[in-house]
Amino acid sequence: MLNISPNKLNDKVDLSRFTAAQKVFHKRHYKHFNRFLLAFATIGIIVLFLPWTQNISGEGYLTTLNPDQRPQTIQSPIPGRIEKWYVREGDYVETGDTILFMSEVKNEYFDPKLIERTGQQIQAKNMAVSSYQEKMRALQSQIEALKRERGLKLKQARNKLMQAGLKVKSDSIDLEAARTNITIAERQFSRTTQLQEEGLKAVTDVEGKRMKLQEAQAKLISQENKLLASRNEVINAEMEIGRVEAEYTDKISKAQSELYTAQSAQFDSQAQVTKLENEYANYEMRSQMYYIRAPQNGFINKALRVGIGETFKEGDELINIMPSNYEMAVETFVSPIDLPLIHLGEKVRIQFDGWPAIIFSGWPNVSYGTYGGEVVAIETFISPNGKYRILVAADPEDHEWPQDLRVGSGANTLALLEDVPIWFELWRQLNGFPPNYYSPNQGVETAKK
């Protein structure tokens, strides 16, 4: 009752005769209550000085430690049409197992004997290369024969030139002899004429000397003609040498031109062979891509393309696979203001979704159901959600994580920082201050060194 009315019942009614009133209305309950408040205040003051571990909380999910152990999708590098499935969702596959078979959708690859016919083209081009090589050998032999023939012809022409030169010398000597003979004949004719005038010689002697003089003159003219003819032969021999050189140079140049043409055709054929071999290898590799195989051991999660006859483009996702061998990790996110407090090797407490836990964030030692972790990676660029990504692996010094954890399930993390009194933590929380700047001992020692 509130005792609002001026007519107070406690003054008119005596409650002391009731047993309940006797137990309540006495002075001892004030004493007990005061003792309780004093004990509670004492305990509260003591609690304020107890140690409290500052921490940074974060929310994330389970992932794998290595990128190649995370769920992945299998794409087709070429467009195609699904023809047959060899697996179902939930099946276990090993590396290299066939998942599905597809057929071609591009018309340039429709020919079922495309690889065989490309091989035949390569063989034909190789034969063309061999033919050009034989032609080059024949032309090289022809060039060598022409060079040898030119050498023989030049030797023959030089010999003729030498003979003509010797003949010129011989005719020159004969000319000098003829000139000497005509000089002698002129003297003898002049002397015989003088003696005939003196009456010492007969007229027949003069006529004989005149005949010898005329014969000497005729021989001189004949010898001059021979010398001119010999000199003409020298000129002809020199011209023959030039003609032989020009003729065989032209023949050799033509043969070399044909050789270079054959060599160019050979190189072109070899380029075509290389191109066809490249196409042949591409066709073989493309034919092997018709079978989509498992890249690693794992479980088929979900088929992203279904049915028979469904077409897809290159790079389209076909199926999702989860590797069977993986090492668990937690991917969590922290605010930018807390990022400087996180370091590699930092100890973290983790609470997994689905596993019961009793958590005292400031007293990790008395928490139950949490598991130990260790920071192994800190992202250096902010994520789309405005926070920084932290990767936490299992702490080898703590007990193992549950075996039934699955990738993708949620997890809450507590990064443990410094130990401070509870009153300091309450004061920090009321004022909205960040935790104390924290550096692990290892980092401090390194800085001191």
Give the whole-angstrom CA distance, residue 63 versus residue 80. 33
Residue 276 is encoded by which pair of tokens? 């066809």
Assess contact for 65 and 328: CB atoms under 8 A: yes
Assess contact for 58 and 334: CB atoms under 8 A: yes
Assess contact for 125 and 220: CB atoms under 8 A: no
Assess contact for 243 and 150: CB atoms under 8 A: no
Assess contact for 421 and 49: CB atoms under 8 A: yes
Instruction: Give the pLDDT of residue 13.
Output: 66
Domain 72-104+290-323 top-level CATH class: mainly beta
The amino acid at 259:
L
Q: Residue ranges of the domains in the chain?
A: 50-69+326-444, 72-104+290-323, 114-288
- How many other CB atoms are found less than 10 A from the CB of residue 416? 17
The amino acid at 222:
S
Residue 440 DSSP one-character state: -
Residue 297 is encoded by which pair of tokens? 């051991």
Fold of 114-288: Helix Hairpins (1.10.287)
Instruction: Give the pLDDT of residue 100.
Output: 92
Instruction: Give the pLDDT of residue 195.
Output: 76
Instruction: Give the pLDDT of residue 447.
Output: 37
Residue 442 DSSP one-character state: H
Please tell me the number of Cα atoms within 13 Å of 28 on its side-chain side.
Answer: 3
Question: Residue 308: which of 88, 73, 98, 101 has the closest Cα?
Answer: 101
Residue 68 DSSP one-character state: G
Residue 88 is encoded by which pair of tokens? 């179902």
Regions in the chain scoring below 70 on pLDDT: 1-16, 21-30, 52-55, 200, 357-369, 416-420, 425, 429, 432-449
Instruction: Give the pLDDT of residue 433.
Output: 62
Give DSSP secondary structure letters for 328-389: EEEEEEE-GGGGGG--TT-EEEEEETTS--B--TT-GGG-BS-EEEEEEEE-SS--TTSSEE
Instruction: Give the pLDDT of residue 234.
Output: 86
Give the whole-angstrom CA distance, residue 162 versus residue 234. 8
Give the whole-angstrom CA distance, residue 414 versus residue 428. 18
Question: Residue 143: which of 260, 266, 265, 264 has the closest Cα?
Answer: 260
Residue 436 is encoded by which pair of tokens? 């104390």
Strand order in the sheet with 72-75: 72-75, 317-323, 298-303, 92-93
3-class DSSP state of 391: strand
**Phi-psi category of residue 309: left, alpha or beta, with phi > 0 → left and psi -120 to 50 → alpha:** left
Measured distance between the N- and C-terminal CA atoms of the chain, rounded to whole angstroms: 75
**Maximal CA-CA distance, the chain:** 227
Give the whole-angstrom CA distance, residue 147 versus residue 145. 5
CA dihedral 16, 17, 19, 22 (to 10 degrees): 20
50-69+326-444 has which CATH code? 2.40.30.170
Provide the β-strand partners of residue 388: 334
Provide the β-strand partners of residue 298: 93, 323
Assess contact for 175 and 147: CB atoms under 8 A: no
Question: Residue 330: which of 56, 57, 63 has the closest Cα?
Answer: 63
DSSP helix, strand, coil percent of the chain (3-state; round to 5)? 50, 20, 25
